[in-house]
Amino acid sequence: MSEITDLQAFEFLQNIEQRSYETASLSPSEEDLSRLWTGIGFRLSGNNYVVRLNEVAEIISIPRYTKVPGAKNWVKGLANIRGTLLPIMDLHGFLGRKAPHALRRQRLLVVNHKDIHCGVIVDEVLGLNHYEDEEWVENIPVNDELMEPFVNGGFYSGDKLWTVFSLRALAETPSFRQVALV
C-alpha cells in the first residue's frame, strides 16, 4: 500500500473545493431564490391551501394524545413530542364543522408563533411549493367563508389555485387562544 502524503491530501482537498465552487455557480443564486415564495401545501375540506414555510415549525403525523378536561371540543388533547407537551387542535372543529373520520393522510402543522405552540390538524399535507411573484393573485374567490379571516390572496400554478392560509393569523385569533370552557 502506498502512503498518502500531507501534500497529496491537501491537493485532494483543494480539488474538492474547486469542484464545489464550480457546482455552486450552477445553482440558483440567492437573488433568484429571494424572488420565490415558498410554502407548504395542504388540503382541508377538499380545498387546497398553502401556508408560508416560515409559519410551520414542523410537520408530523398525529401522535397519541391525552384529552384535557375542561377544554373545548376542538382541542383534541396534549401530546408528548420529544419531551415537550404539544396541544393538538382540530381545525375543522375550531371552524364549527364536524371533522371527517381520522384519515390516514391527516397531519399536524406545528405552529410556533409568539406564545402559541400547538399542532393544527389538516386533512393532508401536499408538499413544498414554490411560486414566482407573477403567480400571485390579490383578490381570489374564497370557497369557504369560515376560512376567510385566515386567507389572503393566492397563487395560480397552472390551472390550480392555491389559497394562502396564515397560521399566524389563526394563532392570533382570540377565539383560537381561548381553549377552556367557560
Q: Which domains does the chain have, with CATH numbers?
A: 33-177 (2.40.50.180)
Query: How does pLDDT run across 99-150, given as a tens digit for each residue?
Result: 777 678 999 999 988 889 999 999 999 999 999 988 899 988 887 888 999 9
* Mean pLDDT computed over 148-174: 93
- Cell triple for 30: 440567492
User: Cα–Cα–Cα angle for 62, 91, 167, nearest 5°?
Assistant: 95
DSSP conformational letter for 70: T
- Which bin fits 58, alpha (ψ -120 to 50), beta or left (φ > 0)? beta
pLDDT digit string, tens, across residues 49-104: 999 999 999 999 999 999 999 999 999 999 999 999 999 999 999 999 987 776 78
pLDDT at 132: 92
- Its pTM stands at 0.78
Look at residue 25 and tell me whether its pLDDT is greater than 70.
Answer: no
At residue 2 the predicted structure's pLDDT band, cuts being 50, 70 and 90, is low
